[in-house]
Amino acid sequence: MRTQVGIVGAGPAGLLLSHLLARAGVDSVVLEARSREYVQQRVRAGVLEHPTVELLREVGLGERLDREGMPHEGVSLRFEGEDHRIDFTDLVGRGITVYGQQEVVKDLIARRLADGGDLRFEVSDVTLDGLADSPVIGFTDADGQRQELRCDVIAGCDGFHGISRGSFAPEVFDREYPYAWLGILAKAAPTQHELAYANHANGFALYSMRSPEVTRLYLQVPPDTDLADWPDNRIWDELGIRLAAEGFTLNEGPVLEKGVTGMRSFVAEPMRHGRLFLAGDAAHIVPPTGAKGMNLAIADVRVLAEALTPYFARGDESGLDAYSDTCLRRVWRAEHFSWWMTSMLHNAPDGDPFTRRLQLSQLHYTVTSRAAATSLAENYTGLPH
């Protein structure tokens, strides 16, 4: 088999890269270890930055997003029992859209298949060779046959636990946080239109939503939390305590999903090794507090597609040579913002009163200073690509 770009991973990064390349006349093959049904159903991030929404519309993927997405013009910071709204539209003239990652994946798969894209699910035993100048991807297909895909470039979009990053030895910057999120997806209509980030003496909580009928809610818990210790009634009681504010009500309903997710910051530098280019979670992880994960992946592949187009058209490698540095500038900005949001909103495990006072000071400053609120709004809604 032969193609121009071999893409490992059919998440938002790999699928969008394949779509962008097809629009530029560049061939690709996408390889994915999971089934199509699995990747279309796994629930991940749900906040799309303004530049992400603009890009999806620009490349013909905005129809269902505009019909079913939930535009938000601000968020709330909730502490000491009071709600403080950060008005994105007033501060920076743009907002965000709540539209689940799995919905973006569904849209991309449908479009790639309709356009004749080559997507291969349920592959296994993937190997990467010849990364210096003649890349080859080996894999076993869904029928159990061993295959070999020769290509000019490999895009490693296979996530944090994928094989791509392990194919070389980048410098790694890593931080694990001493807390996790217990998240639930509940069949309960949202009672407010926008997200609320709560700092409470019991710990952080996040009020979010996925649709007009489904809410997504999170509680700060220790990383070693056993879900058996958190029956549904305990979760709802704790959410009610941490999210409490004047005029706020919390709808309860059947819990559709429940899980505990650890939190870390991770960056691998460089994001390139020979003809292998990392994108998305394969190269970087951010704590979810800043809502940056999927948006960073989409920004990566936009840069990569724009670099690959002149390379295949006329052999111009300048964009490829600049790829890692270009992406990492955005990555480190997002890492800092996500760390800042996380440290401002989560309680220290040791209950240190000094740290608690610093958090409250930062929260008061953020909601009373237009300059501080603007900085939050600018970063949250997304810096220009």
Which of 19, 72, 200, 284 is flagged as catalytic?
A: 72
- The enclosing H or E element of 84 equals strand 82-87
- In this structure, the answer to whether residues 247 and 128 fall within a common structural domain is no
Question: Does residue 292 carry a catalytic annotation?
Answer: yes
- In this structure, the answer to whether residues 56 and 131 fall within a common structural domain is yes
- In this structure, the answer to whether residues 166 and 290 fall within a common structural domain is yes
The mean per-residue pLDDT over the stretch 235-250 comes to 96
The mean per-residue pLDDT over the stretch 20-30 comes to 98
Give the per-residue pLDDT at 196: 97
Cα–Cα distance between 34 and 316 in angstroms, integer? 35
Question: Does residue 177 carry a catalytic annotation?
Answer: no
The per-residue pLDDT of the chain, averaged, comes to 96
Which strands make up the sheet holding 153-156, listed edge to edge? Answer: 118-120, 28-31, 5-8, 153-156, 276-278, 272-273
Predicted confidence band of residue 210 (pLDDT cuts 50, 70, 90): confident
Helices (H), 153-277: 232-242
Which of 19, 273, 284, 292 is flagged as catalytic?
A: 292
State the total domains in the chain: 2
State which residues form the domain around 242.
177-262+349-381
CB burial of 298-332 (b: ≥16 within 10 Å; e: otherwise) equals bbbbbbbbebbbebbeeeeeebbeebbebbbebbe
- In this structure, the answer to whether residues 48 and 22 fall within a common structural domain is yes
12-23 vs 101-114: helix axis angle to the nearest 10? 40
In a domain, 241, yes or no: yes
- In this structure, the answer to whether residues 130 and 193 fall within a common structural domain is no
Question: Does residue 288 carry a catalytic annotation?
Answer: yes
> Residue 73's closest CA among 83, 60, 64, 86?
86
In a domain, 80, yes or no: no
Which of 99, 207, 218, 380 is flagged as catalytic?
A: 380
Report yes or no: 27 and 3 within 8 Å, Cβ to Cβ.
yes
Give the per-residue pLDDT at 246: 92
In a domain, 149, yes or no: yes
Give the per-residue pLDDT at 164: 98
Question: Does residue 193 carry a catalytic annotation?
Answer: no
Q: How far is CA 200 from CA 116, 182, 203, 220, 232, in A?
A: 51, 15, 5, 10, 20
Question: Does residue 19 carry a catalytic annotation?
Answer: no
Give the per-residue pLDDT at 351: 85
Which of 177, 179, 197, 207 is flagged as catalytic?
A: 197
Percentage of the chain modeled with pLDDT above 70: 100
The answer on pLDDT for 251 being more than 80 is yes
CATH number of the domain bearing residue 157 = 3.50.50.60
In a domain, 83, yes or no: no
The answer on pLDDT for 45 being more than 80 is no
Predicted confidence band of residue 211 (pLDDT cuts 50, 70, 90): confident
The string of pLDDT tens digits covering residues 124-173 is: 999 999 999 999 999 999 999 999 999 999 999 999 999 999 999 999 99
Cα–Cα distance between 51 and 380 in angstroms, integer? 11
Which of 135, 170, 287, 288 is flagged as catalytic?
A: 288
- In this structure, the answer to whether residues 337 and 358 fall within a common structural domain is no
Give the per-residue pLDDT at 57: 98
68: exposed, middle or buried (Cβ count in 10 Å: 0-12, 13-18, 19+): middle
Please state the pTM of the whole predicted model: 0.95
- In this structure, the answer to whether residues 31 and 134 fall within a common structural domain is yes
- In this structure, the answer to whether residues 37 and 54 fall within a common structural domain is yes
Tokens of 341: 């949001």
The answer on pLDDT for 43 being more than 80 is no
- In this structure, the answer to whether residues 102 and 213 fall within a common structural domain is no
Integer Rg of the chain from CA: 21
In a domain, 86, yes or no: no
In a domain, 81, yes or no: no
The answer on pLDDT for 44 being more than 80 is no
In a domain, 11, yes or no: yes
CB burial of 95-122 (b: ≥16 within 10 Å; e: otherwise) equals bbbbbbbbbbbbbbbebbeeeebbbbbe
- In this structure, the answer to whether residues 147 and 183 fall within a common structural domain is no
In a domain, 90, yes or no: no
- In this structure, the answer to whether residues 250 and 367 fall within a common structural domain is yes
CATH number of the domain bearing residue 245 = 3.30.9.10
- In this structure, the answer to whether residues 301 and 368 fall within a common structural domain is no
